[in-house]
Amino acid sequence: MKQIDKIIAPVKKELGLVERKIDKILKDNVFKEKFDGTFLNKGKKLRPIYLFLLSKALGYFEEDIVDYGVIVELLHNASLVHDDIIDHSPKRRGENTFNSIYGNNIAVLLGDLLFLFSNKLAVEKRNFRILDVLVEKNESLLIGEIEEGLNTGNIDLTEDKYIEIIKNKTASLFELVGEISCILAEIDEQKCKRIREMSSSLGLSFQIIDDVLDYTSDAKKVGKPVMNDLKEKTLTLPIIFALRKKSDLKNKIVKFFEDVTQDYLLDEIKDDVIRAGGLDYAKKKALELISVAKKTIESLKPSKYKESLMSLIDFMSERSF
């Protein structure tokens, strides 16, 4: 049995229902054919898995948890559609992206439609505390996307600003899961604060691991282009660190940004980042954040859900190293 199969075993039923509900939502709209043969419903669904395991570990076992899994997954997929447009990505999860099939104009509207489906279902649930959090995290996600765009080509991007951007862009969805779990399980504010911090740490580590994967994986393995961040003039943690260590690296990046088809320069920059310890630094940072998250999980009452949560965190980190 694969590691991920063991992790999802306690919530396999809920995950199956999420897939069926998303499939029904997509097929029941007038543009249903536009969603066929795309990357939707092909991911690992780490955020719904995290939601189900965390909620149950906190003592919430009601069936409506499935709807919240759908809300989170649709929101995540909507953000991916927009990411692919911004990054000009032709592939996602090994499938053609919406923008490569329909062009940017239609793709952005289809992404908006997924956002709408997510928010519409949330409104139907009539849990206004969760609605408040959903609106807040929607705002954070979009601010993160805008901030990243505004910093395209910014060779002087600092680590603090980078962390701020990914906290909004990526960690906000993990924080949303933590908040939903706390609200549903009626957890006191002090404990909920720790859950929020844990969720944020997980989200930050997840993005940093993605940054490392952009250097270390091949396109077939991750199902999308690699070294794409630099081609899109986006600075991530490995290169931000390397710029502090290698004074001549800045000039190479500036030259590469003038023409991102210069593959020889891309290879040189990649080698410089590795030699300067950029990947090692990013890995260390991700593992530190994961360690923070584990401490909170360890404080939960013993259960099969807690055990799977610990395994999920290990799985999220080991996928890169």
User: And the tokens for 50?
Assistant: 């995290």
Q: Could you state, in order of their start, the residue ranges of all structural domains in the chain?
A: 3-307
Distance CA 291, CA 305 (A): 18
Q: Using CB atoms within 10 A of its CB, is residue 37 exposed (0-12), middle (13-18) or buried (19+)?
A: exposed
* Mean pLDDT, range 33-45, rounded to an integer: 78
Mean pLDDT to the nearest integer, 188-216: 94
| CA–CA gap between residue 51 and residue 70 (Å, rounded) | 10
CA distance 169 to 159: 15
Mean predicted confidence (pLDDT) in 252-262: 94
Domain 3-307 coded CATH 1.10.3720.10? no
- For residue 66, pLDDT over 90 is answered with yes
Could you tell me the two tokens for 48? 């719904």
Q: How confident is the model at residue 321 (pLDDT cuts 50, 70, 90)?
A: very low
Residues 225, 89 contacting (CB under 8 angstroms): yes
Range from 22-26, 197-201, 315-319 that averages highest in pLDDT = 197-201
Both tokens of residue 261? 């088809």
Q: Tell me, what's the pLDDT at 138?
A: 93
Percent of the residues in the chain that have a pLDDT greater than 90, as a whole number: 78
In this structure, which amino acid lies at residue 109?
A: L
Whether 224 shows a pLDDT value over 70: the answer reads no
Q: Quick one: tokens of 288?
A: 């530190």
Structure tokens at 88: 């000009």
Give the span between the Cα atoms of 308 and 230, in whole angstroms: 35
**277 DSSP assignment:** T
Q: pLDDT band for 165, please (50, 70, 90 cuts).
A: very high
Rg (CA), the chain: 20
Q: What is the pLDDT of the chain when averaged over all its residues?
A: 91
Lowest-pLDDT choice from 63-67, 76-80, 114-118, 221-225: 221-225
What is the model's pTM? 0.92
pLDDT at residue 223 in the model: 54
The DSSP secondary structure of 82-133, one letter per residue, reads HHHHHHT-SEETTEE-HHHHH-HHHHHHHHHHHHHHHHHHHHHHT-HHHHHH
Which two tokens mark 81? 């559609």
What is the amino acid identity at position 283? Answer: K
